Structure 1
Amino acid sequence: MKLHHYLLTLVSAVFVFGSLPALAAQGQEVHFPSADGSTLLAWLFMPEHAPLGTVIALHGCGGLYASSGARQGELNARHQAMADMLLEQGYAVLFPDSLTPRGVRELCSQKIGARNIDQTERRHDALAALEWVARQSWANPRKLALLGWSHGGSAVLSATHQGRKQVAAQAAKPVVAIAFYPGCSAARKAGYQPNTRLLLLLGEKDDWTAPGPCQTLGREVGAQVHVFADSYHDFDNPVGSVKLRKDVSNGVYPGEGVHPGANPAARSLAYALLRAELKVAFE
């Protein structure tokens, strides 16, 4: 009930975070080891005052950074917008980079079976990030959240599946997990059971990671599931429009490409839901 009333308040200001601010927040580079021996690079964003909680944000198959344009080499627009919004709410944000420390630029154009980085590595990295944050003097280890997009959303599921020994043995656990348009078929096949509350944010028209398996998963495990009408993969991107990507072979219709792109109204509502969920989880 508290979440419902809080959400009604937020939706009244649903377009507040509709674009990138003029002065985007700057992150601090940090390093810590992952379970596979890799030394991870991550970007830490800290609010002005002691954080109300910490969000660990896991990138998708395209990695953390913009590959072209004015932001090339910097956090892409989606990640930067999320960092700015969460800082405004008083949260710290950590963005681990699972790709460049392992010599990989992107995974999206690689067939799933040919990838050298899969959910094993992503799970290692997510759990290592949770442990690293929990050890920091500024952090409250009981107020950690996992957030991810697409491949990173699947990593959120992998890192919160209590049936995995590595997850069950983990001391630092998130109080909430939030996944934007993950692939859920593998999680269902693995008998996924979350070790925390789970929120799934899906696009109705997603032809990259279809919403159906996640809707089923949500019903099976009692997760909150929101499907946004007229929305494709990457609907929360603050820039651009829906476009066909023929270089992606792993979509719902192999060989035909996929259609990622922004839906500003869906993005604003998804952000409101996310803020509401974090507000309740971090109380």
Structure 2
Amino acid sequence: MVHAPVTPQHAPRPARPAGAWLSAAVALGCSAWLAGAAAHTPDLPAPALDAPAPLTPAGVLAPNAVSRAAPASSAAARAAVAPVPAQRVQLRGDAATPALTAYWFLPREGATPRALPVVVALHGCGGLLAQGARRDGTTAATSTVAGTTDVSALLQQRYREYAHWLTERGYAVLMPDSFSARGKPHGICAEPIDNRAIDERTRRADALAALRWVAQQPAVDASRIVLLGWSNGAQAVLATVDASRPWPAGTPPVERAVAFYPGCKRAVQQHSFRLRSPLLLMIGGADDWTPATRCAMLQSAVQARQPGARFRLEIYPGAYHGFDGTSELHRRTDVPAAAMRKSQSVTVGGDAVARVAALAQLDSWLASPDP
């Protein structure tokens, strides 16, 4: 496991609910990780996809709740994990980029008195929308908040939970949908990587459009923008913060970046790749879809080119692709084989111990004045 000491927290962080749960979460996450890494069992039970445990302080503090949570079937349980309502907005890029739908979350009124930091969050290859959502922005399942339909019900549970987790900490959150406007609302995972029309250049352009949009919003601190992504979206994070690429005029900088289990192959092959922003990259040591070894190679290459680069790599032994989720481990057979992975079968699913450690690490990274 590649691990560096957690940076001490010396500056105020975004507002959050009362209670000193963070220090307990970090301590518990670290101790649970150290104790569980050696005895890790990859088939750790977890709830089904339709009943994930919430990304809340309680969930962080109780790692067993990830694998033993009961289905959130009651109204009270659903309310406990419901994020603040989302607003559906339109992002306009350049002439070659269609207008994208994005989902904008703000902390609850009164949660913070100062200009808001922002997280721009980029979805994975499975898309942003839940399976029940339709391209026209409607869904068979609706959520009503204060008498109005909450459009966050259109999103996959993972992304709704992260929006809730981040807004609780005083962040505004923008989640652009890169796929629906291009006719692929439910993803491109089954498409061969080299044949995808929606590639990392496309998604980088979307990320830049999202950065420009958030910088124009009132009550936003454009100097505190975090770019975060998962899998295919994490590859877009790498492409966006690549300092060898030009930065468009009028686009605010990314203060720090977070990448969950990206495919690092292309960045490794790009010998000019350098970091424009501090980066936290988290990946499972057993990931057979986007191998951790390539990301370790990328870290070494970047640090050789940029001795002062802030590139933190966390590899969680025994964890697979999607370890921060709550689905049971299962094999996907719809993923095209790659050059270094002859099989079309990959393992995906949540890992209770790695999830706790990663959320504590993410919390610390976001809070640190000098990541």
- Normalised TM-score (structure 1): 0.90
Name the residue aligned to 2:38. none
SS in structure 2 opposite 1:84?
helix
Residues 2 and 280, structure 1, Cα contact 8 Å, conserved in 2:
no
Letter in 2 for 1:85: W
Structure-to-structure mapping, 1:260-279, within 5 angstroms: 260-279=348-367
Residue among 105, 108, 112 paired with 1:45: 105
SS in structure 2 opposite 1:113?
helix
Name the residue aligned to 1:11. 26
| Distance change in 2, residues 1:71/1:60 (3 Å) | farther
| Distance change in 2, residues 1:71/1:183 (3 Å) | farther
Residue among 239, 243, 263 paired with 1:183: 263
Name the residue aligned to 1:31. 90
Residues 56 and 93, structure 1, Cα contact 8 Å, conserved in 2:
yes
Could you tell me how far 1:84 is from its partner in structure 2? 1.0
Name the residue aligned to 1:60. 124
Residues 120 and 174, structure 2, Cα contact 8 Å, conserved in 1:
yes
| Distance change in 2, residues 1:71/1:137 (3 Å) | same
Letter in 1 for 2:317: A
In our comparison, the structure showing a higher alpha carbon Rg is 2
Could you tell me how far 1:216 is from its partner in structure 2? 1.4
SS in structure 2 opposite 1:259?
strand
Q: CA RMSD in A?
A: 2.6
Name the residue aligned to 1:82. 162
Residues 127 and 170, structure 1, Cα contact 8 Å, conserved in 2:
no
Identity of aligned residues (%): 35
Residue among 210, 215, 237 paired with 1:129: 210
d(CA) in 2 for partners of 1:143, 1:243:
37
1:96 equivalent to 2:176? Answer yes
Structure-to-structure mapping, 1:158-197, within 5 angstroms: 158-165=239-246, 167=247, 169=249, 171-190=251-270, 191-197=272-278
Q: Please, which moves more after superposition, 6-15 or 52-61?
A: 6-15
The unaligned stretches of length 5 or more in structure 2 are 10-21, 30-56, 61-65, 67-71, 134-139, 143-152, 304-310
Could you tell me how far 1:79 is from its partner in structure 2? 1.0
- Normalised TM-score (structure 2): 0.70
Deviations 1:214-257 (A, max 9, x none): 111122324100001110000111x3211000011145523341
| Distance change in 2, residues 1:201/1:170 (3 Å) | farther
| Distance change in 2, residues 1:173/1:264 (3 Å) | same
Structure-to-structure mapping, 1:243-262, within 5 angstroms: 243-250=330-337, 252-262=340-350
| Distance change in 2, residues 1:261/1:104 (3 Å) | same
Could you tell me how far 1:95 is from its partner in structure 2? 0.4
Residue among 209, 214, 217 paired with 2:290: 209
Name the residue aligned to 2:219. 138
Deviations 1:140-160 (A, max 9, x none): 110100000010000001011
SS in structure 2 opposite 1:244?
strand
Deviations 1:15-36 (A, max 9, x none): 7335686321121101111233
d(CA) in 1 for partners of 2:301, 2:25:
29
Residues 175 and 281, structure 1, Cα contact 8 Å, conserved in 2:
no
SS in structure 2 opposite 1:157?
helix
**Larger RCO (CA within 8 A; separation ≥ 6):** 2
Deviations 1:34-67 (A, max 9, x none): 2333101000110023464100000010001222
SS in structure 2 opposite 1:215?
helix
| Distance change in 2, residues 1:97/1:264 (3 Å) | same
